[in-house]
Amino acid sequence: MKDFVDVLILIILLSLFGYFHSVLASIKVKEFIRQQFGKAIAFYRLFYNLISLITLYLMWEYAPHPSARIYRLSSPFDYLVLIPQFLSLAGIIWCFRYISSKEFLGLSQIERFLNKEYSDNELDEKLTFRIEGPYKYSRHPIYFFSIIFLVFRAEMDLFYLTVVICFIVYFYIGSVYEEKKLIKIFGKAYEDYQKEVPRIFPIKFVNNKS
């Protein structure tokens, strides 16, 4: 019974994290921040990232940890699962070759602000639409490689399993809202991209927008 309650609390906490993480990333919130603070919104992306890391750490540290073991791989399988983990990390690095890491972290925005180069129409980041590298096979390859990294594990307990499932659900729901924003920005070009490239998993189904 205790494990059931702990899992329920953990799901609620992770759902709240996902909800507020998505709300703070929405265009409406960013436009409100820009109305209040003008070009100082250049600092918002870094603030958003720091708040996300801090809240995720606090949740990981202080949330209930239901410890019931699901499985534990014996040798040599406990070492073999390291292969897809290393490959997924390489995949994430591959993804960042096609996006600006400094823009993603929020550092480029601050540089533009300090150099008085921040545009009046700019929110918290400059988005670019390029179909290159892993983005030719998945619209959200960082989510895909993150899922691979999380799923392949030598030992699984109830806490970690709950976290993994919640993050996979969040990745999918988050991608839906993220793509609504991208359609507003890039229009038909992104809609055509949706038709050609799968959402997360690089496997083409009948409906590629799924």
Q: Which residues of 113-140 are buried (b: 16+ CB within 10 A; e: fewer)?
A: beeeebeeebbbbeeeeeeeebbeebbb
d(CA 110, CA 96): 20
CA distance 104 to 6: 34
Instruction: State the total domains in the chain.
Output: 1
Q: How far apart are CA 22 and CA 18, in angstroms?
A: 6
Integer Cα distance of 7 and 68 in angstroms: 11
Is there a domain that residue 46 lies in?
yes
* Domain of 105, in residue numbers: 2-196
| Distant-in-sequence, close-in-space partners of 88: CB < 8 Å, separation ≥ 6 | 145, 146, 148, 149, 152
| Pairwise pLDDT comparison (203 vs 82), residue with the higher score | 82
The pLDDT score that the predictor gives to residue 17 is 93
Residue 209 has what pLDDT? 55
Identify whether 207 is part of a domain. no
Taking only Cα atoms into account, the Rg of the chain, rounded to an integer number of angstroms, comes to: 19
Residue 102: inside a domain, yes or no? Answer: yes
Residue 208 is assigned to a structural domain of this protein: no
> Could you read off the pLDDT of 35-91 as tens digits, one per residue?
999 999 999 999 999 999 999 999 989 999 998 999 999 999 999 999 999 999 999
- The percent helix, strand, coil of the chain (3-state, each to 5) is 70, 5, 30
Contacts of 162 (CB under 8 A, 6+ apart): 7, 10, 11, 14, 66
pLDDT score at 100: 86
pLDDT in tens, 2-35: 889 999 999 999 999 999 999 998 888 999 999 9
- Count Cβ atoms below 10 Å from residue 185 Cβ, excluding itself: 12
Residue 184 lies in a domain: yes
Across the chain, what does the average pLDDT equal? Answer: 91
The answer to whether 141 and 135 are in contact (CB under 8 A) is yes
Given a contact cutoff of 8 angstroms between Cβ atoms, the answer to whether 64 and 6 are in contact is yes
Output the pLDDT for position 205: 57
- pLDDT value at 207 more than 50: no
Evaluate whether residue 209 is within a structural domain. Answer: no
Closest CA to 73 of 65, 64, 82: 82
d(CA 110, CA 15): 31
Q: 0.75 cut: is pTM over it? A: yes
Band the pLDDT of 111: cuts 50, 70, 90: very high
Dist CA 164 CA 150 (whole Å): 6
Decide if 115 is inside a domain.
Answer: yes
Task: Assess if residue 201 is contained within a domain.
Answer: no
